[in-house]
């Protein structure tokens, strides 16, 4: 089992640690860093940020669809 430690300095000089103990996750992160030429930390943070943004967009889209559906249902009643 592979292990990757990432330590990032945050506000107030607090240290946070992320341990990845999944071989596939480590391989994918390493491959992404190599493909982009970015550091492992930057590649992971960027990928997580982009996925978070996609998830938020999906949630907003779902909420808009549900609001429209409710509006249609109320106007049809």
Joined together, the tokens standing for residue 35 give 């493909």
C-alpha distances out from residue 12 to 6, 28, 29, 42, 45, Å: 18, 31, 28, 21, 20
Give the start-to-end residue ranges of the domains of the chain.
4-76
Region 63-68: mean pLDDT is 98
Q: For residue range 13-54, what is the model confidence (pLDDT) as tens digits?
A: 566 888 889 999 999 999 999 999 999 999 999 999 999 999
pLDDT of residue 7: 47
Give the model's pLDDT for residue 77. Answer: 78
Please report which helix (H) or strand (E) contains residue 7, including its range.
strand 4-9
Taking the model in full, what pTM does it have? 0.71
């Amino acid at each position: 089992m592979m292990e990757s430690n990432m330590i990032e300095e945050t506000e107030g000089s607090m240290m946070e640690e992320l341990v990845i103990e999944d071989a596939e996750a480590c391989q994918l992160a390493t491959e992404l860093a190599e493909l982009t030429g970015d550091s492992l930390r930057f590649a992971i943070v960027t990928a997580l940020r982009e996925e978070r943004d996609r998830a938020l967009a999906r949630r907003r889209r779902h909420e808009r669809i549900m609001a429209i559906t409710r509006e249609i249902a109320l106007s049809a009643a």
